[in-house]
Every structure is written in structure tokens, then in C-alpha cells.
Structure 1
Amino acid sequence: MTITEFLIESIGTYTATVAFGILVNIPRKALNTGGLIGLLGYLIYRFTVLGGGGYVVGNLLGAMAIGVASLQFARMKRMPMILFNIPALVPLVPGGQAYQMIKNFALGQNTVAFTYLIQVIMIAGSIAFGFLLSELVNRVQQRFWQQRR
């Protein structure tokens, strides 16, 4: 991957995240932050996959980063966390695998379709588990700061 490809991919990810935020009526002052959080989650996912971590671990770490960053920015901007979570998840959604699954089921290639189905389930589960872990990290961090006061 060249630097130019990396920059195009990053700009595309940011743009897709912001565009989805516009589609679901996220307030204007949360769009840029949501785009940056989505880009952060995607970059963590991408570098994990490139480093040999696999799609499931990459999605887990990306979702965890999105969850932690969303809570931090929600506190900073005094806005609900979901305004940052929902658009930021767009780059991690396993749309390609879901499409291949449906296509192969329609073509009668059930073995290939089940392979894609397993991938979709594992990726969706890792995203959900990443959000669960981010909530745990946020609560531990909150208790740590409360005890320091």
C-alpha cells in the first residue's frame, strides 16, 4: 500500500462516516468529531489487519477505540455518546461479506455462503464485544479518576 492509496482510503473513510452522519441527522457540531472517531477506529482496524491480527481482532480493537473515544468526546462536547458511535461504526460494518453471503445463497452455492455467514457473525460479534470492552474501560477509568479526587 502506497502513501497515496493510504491517504485516499483515509479521506474516503472520513467522508463516508460524515456522510452517514448527515443521513441520520447528526447535529452539525458532532459531524467532524464523529468522522475523526470513525477514521480512528478504521485505522486501528486496518493496521491490525495489515499486521496480521485478522479481521475479527481488528474489528474488536477498532470498535473498542470507537467506544472509548466516543465517550471522551461526548463528555467534552456535552452531547450523547450515540451521536458519535453510530456514524463511526460505518467503516467497520461487514457489508462486503454480507453481500457475498446473500449472492452465494441466491446462486445455490451454500457452502461458500455459509463461510461468509460465519465471517459476518464473527465480525458483528467482535464489534459488539469491542463496545462491551470499551464500556468496561470507561468505567474503570471513571472509578480511577474518582478515587484520585
Structure 2
Amino acid sequence: MLHLIVVIVGVYVATLGFAILINVTPKDLNMGGIVGVAGYLVYLAYFNYSNGGYVGGNVFGAFTIGILGMLAAKRKKTPVIVFNIPALVPLVPGGQAYQVMKNIAMNNSHTAFFYLMQVLMIAGSLAMGFLLSELFIQLYNYVLRNLRKRKQSL
């Protein structure tokens, strides 16, 4: 339990730190941190408890960040990028990218290629998660709009 609390605090601080670096307004910092923690917790839950891999965990984590980022942006009347970009930082494959460069420098091409494939799969899964969240929100708005039109015509 203590480990989970440390992870949550670390992800929150990392998200806030990156948000400060890109000049997010102080009124949006807390919500951005919450979105980042929620996305990372979904990633951890999928990765640890469903015997799924890091690709699926990143898809669901990015999906969560995308949905919650859009809801936060609507609530705060702020562009969605203010929440999505800092919240994505804990899921970015920085360690694997470092291993790619280290193994290239050490002339270990097979190991470098292995880590490069991980980086590409994680980056693709993050993009897929954001794409699916956008699709979900658009579909939800479309259905809601048609229900309102149908209700008004009756």
C-alpha cells in the first residue's frame, strides 16, 4: 500500500512539474495532476492485474487521459492540450529510449533493436489510446445531439 501511495505522489509531482515547465496556468495544475494520476493508475491496473502487457496498459492509460482531459477542459473552459500533454509524461517510454541510445553507442544492435521496438509499440499505443478517446467523445456527442433533436421534434 505504501508503494502505491509513493507511486501516486510521484506521478502527481512529475505531471505537475512538466505542466509548470510548459507554463500551464496555476488554476489548471491540480486538475492536470489528477488526470495524470488517473491515467497512470489505469495503466498500472491493466499491466499488473490483467496479465496484460505494456502496450494494452498504455492504450487504456492514454484513453483514460484523453477522456478525463476532455472533461477537465470542458469544465475549466481550457484547451484540452493543457491537461493531456503533462498527464502523458508518466507513460512516455523514456527508459526504453535511453536503452536504445545506450545500446547503439555500445554497438549492441540486437538489444538496441529490441528496445526500439518497445518504444515504437508504446508510442503507437499512446496514439491509439488518444485516437479512441477522441472517437468515443465524438460518438457520444453525436448520439446526444441526435437524441436532443429527436426529443425536440416530438
Regarding TM over 0.5, the answer is: yes
Q: 1:50 aligns with which of 48, 51, 74?
A: 48
CA distance in 2, matches of 1:100, 1:14: 25
What is the Cα deviation at residue 144 of structure 1? 2.0
State the match for 2:83 in structure 1.
Answer: 84
Q: Which runs of 4+ in 1 moved over 2 A?
A: none
How well do the aligned residues superpose, as a CA RMSD in angstroms? 0.7
State the match for 2:2 in structure 1.
Answer: 4
Q: What's the secondary structure of 1:41's corresponding residue?
A: helix
Matches within 5 A, 1:32-111: 32-51=30-49, 52-111=51-110
Q: What's the secondary structure of 1:126's corresponding residue?
A: helix
State the match for 1:28 in structure 2.
Answer: 26
| Number of residue pairs the alignment of both structures matches | 147
CA distance in 2, matches of 1:70, 1:9: 21
Which residue identity is paired with 1:130? Answer: G
CA distance in 1, matches of 2:35, 2:147: 28
What is the Cα deviation at residue 143 of structure 1? 1.3
State the match for 2:129 in structure 1.
Answer: 130
CA distance in 2, matches of 1:115, 1:13: 27
**Mind listing any 5+ residue stretches in structure 2 that lack a counterpart?**
149-154
What is the Cα deviation at residue 145 of structure 1? 1.8
What is the Cα deviation at residue 142 of structure 1? 0.8
Sequence identity (%): 49
CA distance in 2, matches of 1:37, 1:95: 20
Q: Deviations over 1:68-115 (max 9, x none)?
A: 111111111111000001100001000010001110110011100100
**Mind listing any 5+ residue stretches in structure 1 that lack a counterpart?**
none
Q: What's the secondary structure of 2:79's corresponding residue?
A: coil
Matches within 5 A, 1:134-145: 134-145=133-144
What is the Cα deviation at residue 32 of structure 1? 0.5
CA distance in 1, matches of 2:70, 2:47: 25
CA distance in 1, matches of 2:108, 2:60: 32
